[in-house]
Each structure stands twice: as C-alpha cells, then as structure tokens.
Structure 1
Amino acid sequence: MLDELEKQEEMQSRLLPVPVTFYLYTNRNPSKGQKITESTKSINNSDFDAKNPTRFVIHGWTQSYKAGMNKDIRAAWLGRGKYNVIVVDWDRARSVDYASSVVAVPKVGKKVASMINYLVDQFGMSLDETEVIGHSLGAHVAGYAGKNIKNGLLHAIVGL
C-alpha cells in the first residue's frame, strides 16, 4: 500500500512545472554549452544566430544532455558548417520509473515548442531550417514539440 502511495505521489509530482534546460552550442562554443532561456537578454548574450540553421537535440530516458550521443550529434552538425545546436536537458523532469517519465513527455515537448516559438517570434529563426532530433523517449518529446509549434511546421523531426 505504501509503495502504491509513493508511486502515486511521484506521478502527481510529474504534473507540476517541468524543469527543462537548454544549452546552445555553435562553432564559437563547440564544447561548452551556453545555458539559454526565453529572454531577450539570455539570447542576446549567447552565440545564437537566427540566420543559421538550428538543431534541437533531445536525450532519452536514462541519459542526460552530456550523453555521448548528444556530443556526437552536436559535433556532426557543427562539423558541417554554421549551426545553432541546442541540446535539451530534461534529466530532472524524468524519473527512474519509465511510466512516470512518460507522463512528463508532453510537458517537456511543450517546453521545447515554447522555446522554438520564442526564437521564431522574437529573433526570426526559420522553421524551414529547424529540426528536432530525439533519442528513445526523447523522440516522443520531439513529436510533442512538433505538435505544439504555433505558426507553421518544423523542417523535420528525427526519432533515433
């Protein structure tokens, strides 16, 4: 009974605000991400360039934004030219319990969409040059992000 109650409390905590952090990488800062938020000051103080294509990378259930896969994807895009690579950290929103983590997915996706919508509306980022790449459960987050884009469609959503 106590185990069931603890699981229920944990599930309910997933319905509270979801902690999601965004780290920007560019050719000017390929290995040290700049934490960015939905604020003009944050974006203006970063190396974000709306003229460059943007890639959002979302880790899976048991990973973090520092996972090797994220580093590999980031390096691959930055090696191809001038890109904004924004790695999404939703590590604190997920749980050791897969079912509880699944409950957080729609809210994390909305947070990612909110950042994309903000960059489009306030900085002129092009949706035609924006892709969202998710691994494992992160692919589902990417799908929810795409579903919550306000005006238009992403160039691509990639599930790994």
Structure 2
Amino acid sequence: MKYILLLLLVFKFYTTTETLDLSDVGKSAVDVAKGVIDKIPDSIPKPEDLFQAGKNLIAGYPFQQVFSAINTFCSAALSAKSVQPRSMPNIGNMSYVLKTKNKNISVPLDSPEELWKLKEFNPKLPLVMVITGWTTNFNDTENPTLDKIYDAYRCRGNVNFVTVDTAGFVDTLYSWSAFNTEEIGNVIANSLKHLILTYPIEKIHLIGHSLGAHIAGSAGRNLNYKTNKLIPRITGLDPANPCFNPGENLTGLARGDADFVDVIHTNAGALGRRDPLGDIDFFPNGVQPLPPGCLSISCAHQRAPEFYAESVYPGNEFNFMAVKCGSLSALNGKYCPGKPIPMGYATPLNIKGNYFLKTNEESPYGLNATKDFKPVCNA
C-alpha cells in the first residue's frame, strides 16, 4: 500500500506542475513503479535476518547500557586522574616469543637483537607480531586468539611468527589494563626501534586483538615519533571498546598508526568499538554486538581473530568478500554496487572506507569457503 501511495504523491506533484507534459508524468510513474517493484524482493527481510535483528535488539540493549556506564567511569577517572594502574609496565619483565612448530623461544624485549640472532629466525622472511588482549597472555595453557592465528600462519610457513609476552600487565583489573596500553605500546616501540636497525621495517606486520589492537596502535604511533618511520600494516581485531572514548587521553588504535590500518569489528558497541578506526573497517554482519552463531559477547569478540585466521590458510584468501557500503541493510538490498574485496589476509593495502559482508554461523565462516574445507598443514 505504501508504494501505491508513493506513486499517487508523485503523480499529484507532477500534475500541479504546469510546465510538465502529461506523457512525461505517465512515463515517470511507470519508471518509478518498475524500480520499486524490482527492488521489493531485495527489501523484504528474510526470516533469518529478522531473527538476527531481534536477537541483537534484545541482547544489544543491556550491553550498550553496561558499557556506556563503564565509559562514563573511565572518562571521569581520566579527567580526575584518580585511577592509576596497579603495576606499571617494566620492559625487563616482558619478552618476545618466537613460535615454531616444536618450541617457543623467549627473548627479552629490551634485547631485540637477540631475536634475529636466533637460528630459528629467518631474516629473509616477514615478521608477523601478534599482541593479544585482556586476561589472555602467553602463559595461558590455551590462548584461542594466538593459537588459531599461529596455526594458520604455520600452514603458510613463510613468516617469522612472534608474540609479545606482556608479563600480566594486561591481566589485571580491566581499567588498569586499559590504562597500561599506551605505555606497553611505547615499550614495544623502544624495542622495535633497535630491531629495525638491522631488520627491515617494511617486513613487519602488527596484529592486535581487543586491548592488543590498541597496544599495536600505540607501538606503531610511538615508533613513528621516535624514528619518523611507519610500520607498513597494523591489523586490529575487534579493538576494545570500554574506556577508549574519542577525544580523550586514552588513545587507541587509529588511522595513521601505520601506513595501512585495517580493522575487523565483530562485537560492535560491547567489548569491541563500533566506530570506524582505520583506513579500512570491515563490519561482518553489520554494526551489531552479536554475529550469527553467537549468543554471548565473548563469542562475538573472539569471532574477529577466527575470521582473520581462516583467511590466512592457503586457498582461503578470498573466503570473506566485502563491499564498500553504508549498512548491512543496504548490502542486502543490493544498493552497494562496488567491487568486492577480500577481508583479512589478502586485503588490498590501497583501499579505504567502510566495508560490509555476511558470514556463516559456523566454521568455515566465509561465504566463499568450500564445504569440505579442512586445513592440512605440513609446515
């Protein structure tokens, strides 16, 4: 009925315009009607889309209230300087860990030259450095973020895979951990400053999840301050939301922290930031707190490293194809005609903007993934 009313309004407008020929009115009405009818099937939400929207509406409301309260607390604490971290980062207690198939080799962060002296470190290969988030450190028996990304890169076998053991400095009360991110990033920048004296900065790729994304941003930013050089790429995997408010002193990952900053948002507005941060921001399943297949914010927050890891496996580079768009509904309605680009490992480093895509509920998550996808790694 609303489409008929729209046509009548269009007709009424044109019939009150004396300079317009009636044949033009008829042609315009036909064109409008045809366009509307063509788009009606795309504009009607599918049952699964309605369910997903309802789930996010019910679940998202309390999330937004809780994290809004946390952000208010952090803003007050920052302005009053009333909260100090329980323990300040000490570079002497932190280390790089070079992961190989059979062992993990620790090197003090304040002796980075020892890293590339290791026989297991190949200076001819790129360096992928992963920094994980709150309550997940290297000493965990299982670190889902680190393990999944490492397993994927091991399948490729063409990188030096290093993580940063932050010695528990992001394993305290969240507000203390958040307040530590800038200083931890600065500590890492001091170490990288020495590393790039003998190892090409062009080969370094920083990847951070949650608070680790903000640490990576701080590392890149501070390294630029100290050397006037930029890391080629920083990938932010659902950068942490609470306490990182625009315009405040607690600076998080941002465009300009590297030559290219790409961000994947999977828990927007809850544990993860919802606003664009990088040169390119991907919003799988829209700007929502819960993606398909997740009923908790921790599940949603973990989806970003899972999506990225899947894209790293050989043959999976184009599993996640995204389109530059303004919203998921616009994507569903086919109002975004741009060329699809891959999210994750193979993201082009010269693309900018906000990109949307849909994913599967279960692994493999990429819509372009083959049904029989099973990683087989011999590296």
TM-score bracket for the superposition, by shorter chain length? 0.7 to 0.9
TM-score (norm 1): 0.79
Root mean square deviation, CA, Å: 2.4
Bigger CA radius of gyration: 2
Contact 1:30–1:78 (CA<8 Å) still a contact in 2? yes
Instruction: Tell me, yes or no, if structure 1 residue 54 matches structure 2 residue 131.
Output: no
The number of residues matched between the two structures is 148
- 5 Å matches for 1:81-120? 81-120=157-196
Question: Using the alignment, how far apart are the partners of 1:48 and 1:96 within structure 2?
Answer: 32
Question: Using the alignment, how far apart are the partners of 1:75 and 1:35 within structure 2?
Answer: 19
Question: Using the alignment, how far apart are the partners of 1:30 and 1:20 within structure 2?
Answer: 22
Q: Return closer, same or farther for 1:60/1:40 CA change in 2, 3 Å cut-off.
A: closer
Unaligned runs of 5+ in 1: 1-7
Q: Return closer, same or farther for 1:78/1:151 CA change in 2, 3 Å cut-off.
A: farther
Contact 2:133–2:209 (CA<8 Å) still a contact in 1? yes
Question: Using the alignment, how far apart are the partners of 1:116 and 1:30 within structure 2?
Answer: 24
- 5 Å matches for 1:35-50? 35-37=106-108, 38=111, 40-41=113-114, 43-50=116-123
1:27-57 Cα shifts (integer Å, max 9, x gaps): xx22421101315455424522221100110
Q: Return closer, same or farther for 1:11/1:60 CA change in 2, 3 Å cut-off.
A: same
1:32-89 Cα shifts (integer Å, max 9, x gaps): 2110131545542452222110011001011112412101111212222321111111
Describe the SS at the equivalent of 1:88: strand
Describe the SS at the equivalent of 1:148: helix
Once the two structures are overlaid, the 10-residue window that deviates more, 92-101 or 11-20, is 11-20
The one-letter amino acid of 1:82's match is: N
Unaligned runs of 5+ in 2: 1-80, 238-379
* 1:16, distance to aligned residue in structure 2 (A): 5.7
Q: Return closer, same or farther for 1:17/1:141 CA change in 2, 3 Å cut-off.
A: same
Describe the SS at the equivalent of 2:84: helix
* 1:114, distance to aligned residue in structure 2 (A): 2.3
Contact 2:97–2:163 (CA<8 Å) still a contact in 1? yes
Q: Return closer, same or farther for 1:111/1:49 CA change in 2, 3 Å cut-off.
A: farther
The one-letter amino acid of 2:129's match is: F
Question: Using the alignment, how far apart are the partners of 1:156 and 1:63 within structure 2?
Answer: 23
Describe the SS at the equivalent of 2:146: helix
The one-letter amino acid of 2:203's match is: E
Instruction: Tell me, yes or no, if structure 1 residue 145 matches structure 2 residue 219.
Output: yes
* 1:112, distance to aligned residue in structure 2 (A): 1.8
Among 147, 157, 160, the alignment partner of 2:234 is: 157
Instruction: Tell me, yes or no, if structure 1 residue 21 matches structure 2 residue 95.
Output: yes
Structure having the higher helix fraction is: 1
Among 3, 6, 11, the alignment partner of 2:84 is: 11
